[in-house]
Amino acid sequence: MKSNAGAVARYLFLDLAGSLIHFPFWWYTKGFFDVLQWVGRSCSFQWKSYGITLWMKNFFVPMYGQYDFSGRLVSVIMRFVVLIGRLIVFVVFALAYLLAVVAWLVIPIVALLLFLHSLYQGAFGLPPLELPL
pLDDT, tens only, 55-87: 999 999 888 888 899 989 999 999 999 999 999
Which DSSP symbol is given to 64? G
Sign of CA dihedral 11, 14, 20, 25: negative
pLDDT for res 32: 96
Counted domains in the chain: 1
Which structural domain, as residue segments, surrounds residue 74? 24-124
Question: Is the residue at 100 inside a domain?
Answer: yes
Question: Is the residue at 74 inside a domain?
Answer: yes
Count H helices and E strands in the chain, helices first: 4, 0
Question: Is the residue at 16 inside a domain?
Answer: no
Question: Is the residue at 40 inside a domain?
Answer: yes
Cβ partners under 8 Å of residue 40, min gap 6: none
CA distance 34 to 37: 5
pLDDT for res 2: 57
Question: Is the residue at 15 inside a domain?
Answer: no
Question: Is the residue at 111 inside a domain?
Answer: yes
pLDDT for res 117: 83
Question: Is the residue at 132 inside a domain?
Answer: no
pLDDT for res 110: 92
Cβ burial, residue 108 (10 Å; 0-12/13-18/19+): middle
pTM of whole model > 0.95? no
What mean pLDDT value characterizes the chain?
89
**Apex 51 CA angle, 48 and 53, nearest 5:** 90
Q: Which residues of the chain have pLDDT under 50?
A: 1
Question: Is the residue at 54 inside a domain?
Answer: yes
